[in-house]
């Protein structure tokens, strides 16, 4: 059954690919990123386009654009700090960062996947929790955010820095933002919006859940691991099924005894 | 058979009346009041003009009366500026000197009004008596920026209300006599409460000359064409209130304390070379100029260093000057130019580094963006194929 706009169908099995914290970190970053690009690029695109959009309010819009850009930058920095703290201080975050580290296997898989896509090979590599595409995007995002934030701070407090440094930071800020926008539009938007089977969107950004079918197809190694874990858990549950009586349940769960009718 | 033609005197009388009617209908009353010397007898004809004997340039002597009556000079008689015109038809008029007293009374002093104060200030500026202007025809004159402008309408929040100018005039007329003077005073006052040029017009006006590479190089100066790629210009584009135009730095309206306890008021007429100690952009004053209220408050001397709209051609221009004027320059001046070349080289290096960063990112956008696009297109192709075969 087709699923639409985050509604989950009941005949599908789901897997929590993102935790609630990760979903909200993603939401903060993407909302601030999109609005930062919009408010930032307004000073670069031809004036006529902006005046056509906002008419007689252009000057006011341009004035509030700067304030909005600074407020959104604070939001992006806050989201990024939360993400880093989550990665450093929580077990799930540490595991996520560990899984995100690029390995030699990723390079091999990238080569194998390109060969497969080109039709030069029938072998399709099996990806784990994060494939080379996601790792590339995450690392580019990490570097890009660091560059954007540091240069943005220098530009905001420009009078306290040498002019050449402000000019260099301005150039980096602008170029990095352009590069990031283009890569997000091509790389990320294809993967989560335009790829057949994903349209109109990958709804995991809403609750972090993906279907088991999606996991099996896109991340087969993780799917196999999850299935093994589920089977082991089920088996363990079956082995102790003889304990599954009301009295033992109460005993194990330390629940107060219910009055029998 | 009786003659059915109109009598000749009736015919002539009709033509005379028609001409009178046309004349009264066409001539605005205000203009006729200002045109006491009857110059419009000839100058109202749009075809009045000639070609200059030497340059071949077309000169038009037509005066649009309706427009002229709404200009800031509408109350000035023609001969107050065109001094050598004694008879009709007159000899070729001399160039107008804006420092001339024009016999209009200055209401603040009750003396004959003149632009002499501004003209004297301008003559001391870099655009006035600068040694740069070997050829006087290249020098900007008053008329280059001031084209006998029209009175500006009442602007601002009040202007959103229709007819606010007549309401304001009515308030004046409550005490003052209903005369052309009252209307003119209001219009003058309204015109001068805000700058005539907006930021963009100001930049375009300066760039008319300063962005012309050939023209600027003839003075040994860099062009300012790339001001339009700076953050300052982005604010100018959107008419931001505190956007920095050329004058914000070269002739700031806020007083700058270039000497302790002596704030100096600059203007468009007092612009001086950045090498002049009296300039707002002299190296010692730059931090103060950049740190003006509403600009980069708290700017230090490191921030106020380097070229704002440099193009990197300055070292070459300075070297050319050093070679061309080798015999005329003193040893001290030569050393000064050499120091300037060294500084200009540093500015050029900085521009090269910024160019390098841009080039690197352009390459990255092409390579990374290109790779990603091709990769995703291949993925699209294989995914569609898998779906067709039921493998996805």
In this prediction the ipTM stands at: 0.84
Whether residue A188 is contained in a domain is answered as yes
Interface of B with A (CB under 8 A): 231, 234-235, 237-241, 290-291, 296-300, 302-306, 350, 353-354, 357-358, 360-361, 364-365, 368-369, 372-373, 375-376, 378-384, 387, 392
- The number of distinct structural domains making up chain A is 3
Of B221, B226, B157, nearest to B194 by C-alpha is B157
Residues of chain A with C-beta less than 8 angstroms from the C-beta of B198: none
Q: Report if residue A7 sits inside a domain.
A: no
**The two structure tokens encoding residue B228:** 């339009």
**Residue tagged 């408010």 (tokens):** A39
Give residue A4's pLDDT band: very low, low, confident or very high (50, 70, 90). Answer: very low
Instruction: Render pLDDT for A123-140 as a digit per residue (tens, 0 to 9).
Output: 999 999 999 999 999 999
pLDDT band at A204 (very low <50, low <70, confident <90, very high): confident
Q: By C-alpha distance, which of B346, B353, B369 is closest to A170?
A: B353
pLDDT at A99 over 80: yes
A30 and A82 inside one domain: yes
Q: Note whether residue A43 is domain-resident.
A: yes
Q: Which residues have C-beta within 8 Å of that of residue A169, sequence separation ≥ 6?
A: A150, A151, A152, A154, A155, A161
Q: Do A159 and B357 touch (CB under 8 A)?
A: no
Whole-number Å distance between alpha carbons of B248 and B267: 9
Same-domain status, A204 and A215: no
Which of the 8 DSSP states describes residue B256?
Answer: E
Chain B hits for A110, Cβ within 8 Å: none
User: Is A87 inside any structural domain?
Assistant: yes
- Are A219 and A128 contacting, i.e. CB atoms less than 8 angstroms apart? yes
Domain identity same for A153 and A199: yes
Question: Which of the 8 DSSP states describes residue A11?
Answer: T
Residue A116 lies inside a defined structural domain of this protein: no
Tokens, residue B256:
């700058």
Neighbouring C-beta atoms of residue B226, cutoff 10 Å: 17
Considering the domain architecture, whether residues A195 and A225 belong to the same structural domain is answered as: no
Task: Over range A30-39, report the average pLDDT.
Answer: 95
Give residue B28's pLDDT: 47
A197 and A218 co-located in one domain: no
Residue tagged 């070997």 (tokens) = B134
- Is A249 part of any domain? yes
CA distance between the termini of chain A: 44
Region class of B42: left (phi > 0), else alpha (psi between -120 and 50), else beta: alpha
Does residue A108 form part of some domain?
Answer: no
Are A135 and A204 found together in one domain?
A: yes
Q: Which residues pair with B264 in a beta bridge?
A: B256
Contact A212, A15 (CB under 8 A): yes
- The helix (H) or strand (E) run that includes residue B29 is helix B29-34
Q: Is the pLDDT of residue A151 over 90?
A: yes
Residue B136: DSSP 8-state: G
pLDDT at residue B139 in the model = 78
The structural domains of chain B, with segments of one domain joined by +, span 1-75, 314-388
For residues B384 and A203, give the distance between their C-alpha atoms in angstroms, rounded to a whole number. 21
* Phi, psi (degrees; rounded to nearest 5) at B262: -125, 80
Tokens of B294: 């509403």
Residues constituting chain A: 261
The residue among B238, B345, B352, B385 with the most chain A CBs within 10 A of its CB, best to mutate, is: B238
Bridge partners of residue B71, in order along the sequence: B150
Domain that holds residue A135: 131-209
Which residues, 6+ apart, have CB-to-CB distance to B125 below 8 Å?
B269, B270, B271, B272
Task: Give the per-residue pLDDT at B298.
Answer: 87
Helix extents (H) in chain A: 20-41, 47-54, 58-89, 91-100, 104-118, 132-156, 163-183, 189, 204-207, 212-218, 220-239, 246-253
β-partners of residue B257 are B263
Q: Roughly what angle, to the nearest 10 degrees, separates helices A20-41 and A163-183?
A: 120
Instruction: State the greatest distance between any 2 C-alpha atoms of chain B, in Å, as a whole number.
Output: 113
Average pLDDT of chain A? Answer: 87
Residues 6+ apart with CB under 8 A from A228: none
- A141 and A92 in a single domain? The answer is no
Of A158, A171, A191, the CB nearest to B354: A171
Specify the residue for token string 């898989």: A109
Mean pLDDT for back-to-back runs of 10 residues, chain B (392 residues): 57 60 50 71 88 84 85 83 83 83 78 86 83 66 79 59 71 84 82 81 91 88 88 84 89 82 85 88 90 88 86 88 85 89 91 95 96 95 89 69
- Average pLDDT (A15-29) is 92
Higher pLDDT, B233 or A151: A151
The partner residue sitting opposite A183, judged by closest CB among B241, B304, B369, is B369
Instruction: Output the CA–CA distances (angstroms, integers) from residue A246 to A232, A233, A249, A259, in the order listed.
Output: 24, 21, 5, 12
Q: Which residues of B touch A172 (CB under 8 A)?
A: 357
More confident residue, A5 or B330: B330
Tell me the pLDDT band of A165, cut-offs 50, 70 and 90.
Answer: very high
Choose the final residue of a domain: A100, A118, A145: A100
Percent of chain A topping pLDDT 90: 56
Q: What are phi and psi of A240, to 5 degrees?
A: -105, 25
The residue among A79, A100, A121 that closes a domain is A100
**pLDDT tier at A1 (50, 70, 90 boundaries)?**
very low
**Distances from the Cα of B148 to the Cα of A229, B58, B71, B143, angstroms:** 87, 20, 6, 8
CB contact under 8 A, A161 and B234: no
Q: How confident is the model at residue A201 (pLDDT cuts 50, 70, 90)?
A: confident
Closest listed residue to residue B221, CA positions, set B138, B349, B311, B139: B311
Same domain for A77 and A89? yes
pLDDT of residue B138: 74
Q: What is the pLDDT of residue A249?
A: 57
């Amino acid at each position: 059954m087709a699923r639409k706009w985050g509604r989950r169908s009941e005949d599908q099995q789901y897997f929590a690919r993102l935790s609630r914290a990760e979903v909200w970190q993603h939401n903060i970053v993407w909302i601030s990123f999109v609005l930062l690009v919009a408010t930032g690029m307004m000073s670069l695109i031809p004036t006529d386009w902006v005046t056509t959009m906002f008419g007689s309010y252009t000057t006011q819009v341009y004035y509030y654009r700067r304030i909005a850009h600074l407020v959104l930058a604070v939001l992006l920095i806050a989201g990024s700090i939360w993400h880093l703290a989550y990665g450093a201080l929580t077990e799930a975050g540490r595991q996520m960062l560990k899984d995100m580290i690029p390995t030699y296997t990723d390079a091999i898989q990238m080569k194998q996947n390109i060969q497969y896509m080109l039709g030069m090979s029938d072998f399709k590599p099996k990806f784990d929790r994060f494939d080379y595409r996601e790792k590339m995007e995450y690392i580019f995002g990490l570097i890009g955010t660091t560059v954007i934030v540091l240069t943005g701070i220098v530009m905001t407090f420009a009078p306290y820095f040498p002019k050449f440094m402000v000019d260099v930071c301005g150039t980096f800020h602008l170029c990095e933002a352009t590069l990031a926008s283009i890569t997000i539009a091509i790389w990320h938007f294809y993967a989560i919006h335009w790829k057949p089977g994903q349209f109109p969107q990958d709804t995991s950004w809403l609750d972090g859940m993906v279907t088991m079918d999606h996991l099996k197809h896109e991340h087969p190694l993780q799917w196999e691991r999850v299935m093994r874990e589920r089977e082991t858990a089920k088996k363990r549950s079956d082995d102790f099924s003889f304990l599954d009586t009301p009295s033992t349940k109460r005993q194990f769960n330390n629940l107060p005894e219910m009055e029998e009718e | 058979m009786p003659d059915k033609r109109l009598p000749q005197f009736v015919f002539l009388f009709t033509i005379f009346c028609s001409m009178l009617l046309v004349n009264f209908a066409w001539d605005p009353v205000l203009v006729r009041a200002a045109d006491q010397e009857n110059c419009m007898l000839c100058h109202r004809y749009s075809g009045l003009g000639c070609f200059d004997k030497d340059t071949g340039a077309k000169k038009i002597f037509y005066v649009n009366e309706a427009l002229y009556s709404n200009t800031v000079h509408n109350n000035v008689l023609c001969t107050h500026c065109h001094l050598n015109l004694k008879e009709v038809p007159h000899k070729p008029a001399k160039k107008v000197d804006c420092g001339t007293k024009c016999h209009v009374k200055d209401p603040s002093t009750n003396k004959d009004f003149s632009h002499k104060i501004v003209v004297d200030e301008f003559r001391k500026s870099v655009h006035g008596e600068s040694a740069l202007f070997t050829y006087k025809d290249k020098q900007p004159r008053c008329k280059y920026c001031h084209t006998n402008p029209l009175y500006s309408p009442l602007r601002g929040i009040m202007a959103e209300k229709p007819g606010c100018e007549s309401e304001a005039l009515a308030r004046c007329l409550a005490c003052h006599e209903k005369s052309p003077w009252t209307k003119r005073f209001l219009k003058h006052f309204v015109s001068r409460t805000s700058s005539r040029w907006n930021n963009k017009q100001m930049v375009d006006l300066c760039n008319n000359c300063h962005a012309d590479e050939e023209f600027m190089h003839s003075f040994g100066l860099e062009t300012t064409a790339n001001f339009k790629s700076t953050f300052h210009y982005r604010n100018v584009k959107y008419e931001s209130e505190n956007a920095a135009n050329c004058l914000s730095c070269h002739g700031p309206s806020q007083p700058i304390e270039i000497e302790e306890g002596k704030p100096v008021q600059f203007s468009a007429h007092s612009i001086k070379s950045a090498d002049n100690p009296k300039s707002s952009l002299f190296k010692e004053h730059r931090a103060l100029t950049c740190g003006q209220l509403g600009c980069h408050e708290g700017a230090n001397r490191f921030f106020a260093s380097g070229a704002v709209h440099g193009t990197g051609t300055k070292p070459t221009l300075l070297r050319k000057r050093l070679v061309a004027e080798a015999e005329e320059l003193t040893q001290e001046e030569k050393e000064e130019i050499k120091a300037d070349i060294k500084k200009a080289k540093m500015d050029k290096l900085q521009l090269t580094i910024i160019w390098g960063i841009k080039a690197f990112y352009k390459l990255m956008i092409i390579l990374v963006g290109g790779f990603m696009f091709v990769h995703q297109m291949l993925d699209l192709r294989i995914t569609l194929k898998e779906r067709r075969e039921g493998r996805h």
